[in-house]
Structure 1
Amino acid sequence: MTTNGTPPDGTPVEETGPADAEPIVELRGAGKSYGNIRALHGVDLSVRPGRVTCVLGDNGAGKSTLIKIISGLHQHTEGEFLVDGAPVHFNTPREALDRGIATVYQDLATVPLMPVWRNFFLGSELTRGPWPVRRLDIARMKRTADDELRNMGIVLDDLDQPIGTLSGGQRQSVAIARAVHFGARVLILDEPTAALGVKQSGVVLKYIAAARDRGLGVIFITHNPHHAYMVGDHFSVLRLGTMELNAARSEVSLEELTNHMAGGAELAALKHELAQVRGVDVEGLPDADDLQAPVAAASEGTS
């Protein structure tokens, strides 16, 4: 089904992956409390193969807590967390990784002064020869890294260059390709475009789409609704630890998504007051009636 969004190259985006495919990862009424502090409550989320699920929210909305639950860093304290339809309680990120859930954080877990190929295999180096004279299989690691990067459409002239010399978008792309190579079925991307310019953000969005096209379920964490709408198939907006919007791409427009992300309900309530201030243009702010349809969709999606 053709949608209204357009990627950086201007071609129309189409929803990919069967919407009725069985979820790889699913949260049902999930929540997390830290003592008396309820960081997350009643969150429903489904991650299906070949689809990008965008999770949006402002600072303090609960995005980081959600990442920690799915990646195995923290355990949920309410609701259900299922992988392949079976309830799970991960004790460590390694357990999540063993089930095919990989997370690419903003710092990318790379060593800037090490070459690209070495960062690609960081912590999982290939070796050859018998013990105790076993040594790194540098040639095979370079060849494998180059092949995997090219499969994702990433062509680097020199794999021996320090990864710190690459642009931010290129480093993000290497981290995505590394996760795909090591068997990720679900890829969690934590604000991958937050510190990038327009051009480099477009590069990262291109490789997010490439990961989706390879059949991965992608969780794209962002606070930028425009980036999310370029590649997203499903949108979930968190606000103060609860799910404010849970809608498929066909059910929500970019304007509605932006209003929810920006706290449209509060802006609608303040529109009358702001109109009294000289020099403030309130014409573009939403009215309360404009938000009723998305809110209804959210309540249906989370029920």
Structure 2
Amino acid sequence: MNLLNEGIKRDIFLFCKHRLNLSPSDEDYKEFLSVFKEYKEDLSRSEYEYNTENISSLNEVINDDMLKYRVFIEPKHDGTQIVIKVDDKVHLSHKSGSGINKQDISLLFGIFIKFRDDFLELLSKAKEKGVIVRMEIFDKEYSPFKIEKEPINFSVFDVLKGDRYLLPTEFSFPHSVEFIEVKSLRDINSMKVLSWLESKEGIVVKVYGDSLPFRNAKNFNMLVFKYKPFVVQLADEMESKKMIKEQGKLSLVFSELITEYAKDRSKSFDEMLKKVKEDHKELGSFIDKNYEIIKDYWFNSKTIRSLLQLISIE
């Protein structure tokens, strides 16, 4: 994307003004360009790929077997995730490896305007330490599920160094994610976790170790599990209707469809499903095989209908 293009600049400014309630200046953009003008989208798969599993209960992963390792709980913000590496240039990607679009650049420009010193410090530290940073940008006016209540902000939730993810206790970047380390079940701050479930998209459980069991959630030395309340509702509804066995994949498809709907409600069902297939190639054959089931459920599920109604509230 040519950030010097006047049309692109105009659209970025409009997004920041109308969606993020910011007042960008030409000087802001000039300084932003000094950092991002020649950004690259060339991260390797091992650098951007990120595996997760949805869980229906914390007990699935916070148990005696997993507590042999280092376990942490974090809030899951409702926003856009971006992967960043810095050397002589800035390298950007989504977790799926898909390209950065104008909206992503607008969000980056937004946090640059509001948190310039913090953001520049983050980029400087990432370059100095030779790490890849995963961050999420969120905002009350840009919240796919209308969950976030605060103005634009960002959170650094993962740091990859070589083939090892650093523990939350091992890195200190501006806006590092809040976390709870769980060494025993008594360490779980239920009020804190409940507040995250009420105010965020959900929570994330991360398990770190050098000899982790194989799971689809594995990323080098880290397992990542997501607990999202609406996913549980979907699973319960599918169970009651005796849906297909691969409910985990079906829940992921609907989760991504809902996110696409929240981003652009003008898209048709087939257009949104196509985007999900592009971003999650591992789901392609599953989606093709179960297209009619997915379509029927999308238009008739009470859980999905209630979520879409919530998203549609202006």
- TM-score, normalising length from structure 2? 0.26
Greater RCO (CA < 8 Å, at least 6 residues apart)? 1
Q: More helix per residue: 1 or 2?
A: 2
- TM-score, normalising length from structure 1? 0.27
